[in-house]
Structure 1
Amino acid sequence: YLQKQLPATDAAVRLPMRRQDIADAIGTSLKTVNRSVERLRAEGILSLDRGKIALTPDQCAKVRTMDVHQKT
């Protein structure tokens, strides 16, 4: 989902949608989205800005290279 939301270039981005909106869009629960956001935040792949998902240019680059089928 994050990969689809990134701008064309690696620029800082703050996703405007709520986590419930993300859960609805990908067909999962809010609890699952929250766990995933916390895991990605702990790994330095994303940040939070006033509760919204935010990515620096470096984090955008990391998200672009992530294997979306990888299970961790």
Structure 2
Amino acid sequence: MEAGEDIRWLPRHTVPDDLVFPFGGKDWWLIDDRLLAMGHTEAGRVTGHEIIDAPKGSHEAVALRNALWPLAIPHGEYRP
């Protein structure tokens, strides 16, 4: 955030019911609108991350981010 990033949180319970998450429902981070950092979990524990540099995946992530951005809570306002 200090570098100018706009970080937001979107609790799963606030996601529209008709939305189907891409990437198997895994958590992911979009970096510079072109790289995906895909989280991998097992039994609820993070086991690692994978960096994906594929235009198809990043296009899906950008489209989803743009659709959900207005629903997301800015980092400074988010309270778990």
TM exceeds 0.5? no
TM-score by length of 2: 0.32
Question: Which structure has more strand as a fraction of its residues?
Answer: 2
TM-score by length of 1: 0.35
> Higher helix share goes to which structure?
1
